[in-house]
Structure 1
């Protein structure tokens, strides 16, 4: 088990993310040269499975120290050396840790660190020759770019991601990302084609690949897929289909066990629901759909939320004028509060 330092040190979250990203850069040139046994690898996999599950329903800031600890332990094992039969697994574990840190960095608004983690995750995928990790790394890069100022770049990452030798959930995630990114860039034809291909994939029997096996954030459940469909229809201007899918996704998350309720997906699905009401010029329903967002804790207000609300402001201004948009949205558009410091004594899941 991990040990706690004798004297606690307060760690600033942004500094921690930046430091973790620099370590990811350093790690890129490392090659294992020894063949020592290390039984800790299985425990690292278990720790990442626990963290991947917790990540769905726990604010990223509360898990960050533990994720960094586990990922860095995987780096250390590879530097120190593991036997050839374990080396591939070590690279997969390190890559999964980088993907978790990429998602955390993105949700906390540190986009540069997110991109660094994604780059190292893809290098781990190449070292392990893991198609599943490769597709997830490129899909996660596309997800980050979709929310950036250059969303068209997301499609380049998806176009180059291999589609074979991965599980149905990973395939559905990739196609759902393609649909929404295409809609966001104004390519309605490609978006609708991707939605049709997503329908076809529904018939495939469920079978995990080696990334899905970590569970939690590395799965693509029906509720999340429906939320992606809602977002795609929203961007295409299909109000009725956007509302139907958003309502279905929200109902599915509400009925799911707590550990499967993605607070980020739920918040963004409510934005989609708001847009569908605005497209129908129903201001009361739109205001009602927004109300639960005001009850989010600061740590649950992911960085993507203000970006989504900016589009809401444009729609609301067109329907009701700038003054009404100001009244309904300014508190949701406010910059998130500074990230709190974390105590480096936070419990570690690394062995």
Structure 2
């Protein structure tokens, strides 16, 4: 087939700097692995592209790719059908070279591909053009757009399913990496390091939420490195907190305390990262049954909260540590310490945390954290024999978990079920019915990726 002009494929790879076959091949193989991990089947992970095929795509000699190639191409260029990717760059004469051709704008049918994908694809195209229009690969508009995208992701993270969000964060991280690999004025490099570090931190948190602890720790180390390169204490202390949290959930409380102490050396001018570090340390001390150290850490967190300065060096959202989150970390600490008074304190703090989480508008509720606070409340009520009160919280958790599932919540549900089986009231109709509901939940489809921890 004789090409009538440049293909959209050619235009897209030129825009991204992927014109070299070896560069594109690496990108293609990376995309195939990511697609296999996110959507399957696993056989897609070995997909590659031959040099001859690459040039056939670029020259318009292929219009209908095979199934695997189609899926990989559409994964690499979201929102554009493969037949459009391999079609001509312009099918109508006369559009300005400074804007997409009309058929580019209209090629995707919202009813077929999802309106949200189309809208985001259009926004990304506009942002990419604006970045190219600046005198260097990075300018004020590029940084402003990157910061706005990061802020949107961290603000919506606590309310969205983690699996689909992971892909969106990874794409933005790749964009930040591409900018760092280019040439920009030195004054912008530090801001790019912070942006890339935040995105790696979000990916670390998401990997953690999806049960990939090793991957989470790798992402966190990279995030910390960017914090070091930027000299950004807020990012460094937040990442150390995340590393401590991973260690806590991984059953390594001594490492959790060590990492939290390490993070305390990086004191940001404002923000809640240091409160989070003390609260994580309190839970780890609780896990170690070091009661006086745990209570001292809770007291230190309270004092830091009292002296908290306005504002934050990080973009808020999932990276902030609000009062309600501090309360449920406190409730978890008291549950570890056990005893009648600690049980009462745990119930009071968890109950207050749940009320505060619930008071947020539905679209802003921190679902995973609210579920964990409910689990603390359920465990405290079970401890004092209130099976019905515990059941109310468990049913609420199961409802949220059905649409935003994470391993930490699943682990807490499993622990609750085992404690319920050992409870003196385990033979009551309420207890039997609750265990049956939990078993039915556990037998349903697993999390969107292999399960993982949460906040």
State if a TM-score over 0.5 links the two structures. yes
Deviation at residue 142 of structure 1 after TM alignment: 0.8
Q: Distance in 1 between matches of 2:237 and 2:287?
A: 21
Higher relative contact order (CA 8 A, sep 6+): 1
More divergent stretch after superposition (65-74 vs 322-331)? 322-331
Contact 1:14 / 1:110 at 8 angstroms: preserved in 2? no
Note if 1:280 corresponds to 2:384.
yes
Alignment-derived partner of residue 35 in structure 2: 11
Structure 2, unaligned stretches of length 5 or more? 1-8, 14-30, 46-134, 450-455
Q: Distance in 2 between matches of 1:187 and 1:293?
A: 30
Contact 1:57 / 1:262 at 8 angstroms: preserved in 2? yes
2:321 is aligned, of 210, 220, 223, to: 220
Alignment-derived partner of residue 244 in structure 1: 348
2:242 is aligned, of 140, 143, 154, to: 140
Tell me the alpha carbon deviations over residues 143-169 of structure 1, each in whole angstroms, 9 at most, x when there is no partner.
111111323311111111125234241
Two-structure CA RMSD over aligned residues (Å): 2.9
Note if 1:317 corresponds to 2:411.
no
Alignment-derived partner of residue 330 in structure 1: 439
1:85-96 pair list within 5 angstroms: 85-96=187-198
Note if 1:266 corresponds to 2:370.
yes
More divergent stretch after superposition (198-207 vs 167-176)? 198-207
User: TM-score normalized by structure 1?
Assistant: 0.82
**2:211 is paired with a residue of what secondary structure?**
coil
Contact 1:152 / 1:181 at 8 angstroms: preserved in 2? yes
More divergent stretch after superposition (232-241 vs 123-132)? 232-241
Tell me the alpha carbon deviations over residues 74-133 of structure 1, each in whole angstroms, 9 at most, x when there is no partner.
111111132211111110000000011111111111222111110100111111111111
Alignment-derived partner of residue 116 in structure 2: none
Structure 1, unaligned stretches of length 5 or more? 20-34, 341-351
Q: Distance in 1 between matches of 2:223 and 2:444?
A: 30
Counterparts in 2 of 1:283 and 1:112: CA distance versus 1, 3 Å: same
Note if 1:231 corresponds to 2:231.
no
1:60-139 pair list within 5 angstroms: 60-139=162-241
Counterparts in 2 of 1:335 and 1:140: CA distance versus 1, 3 Å: farther
**2:382 is paired with a residue of what secondary structure?**
helix
User: TM-score normalized by structure 2?
Assistant: 0.64
Contact 1:37 / 1:83 at 8 angstroms: preserved in 2? no
Contact 2:406 / 2:447 at 8 angstroms: preserved in 1? no
Q: Distance in 2 between matches of 1:331 and 1:148?
A: 26
Which aligned segments of 4 or more residues in structure 1 are displaced greater than 6 angstroms?
A: 3-6
Deviation at residue 339 of structure 1 after TM alignment: 2.6
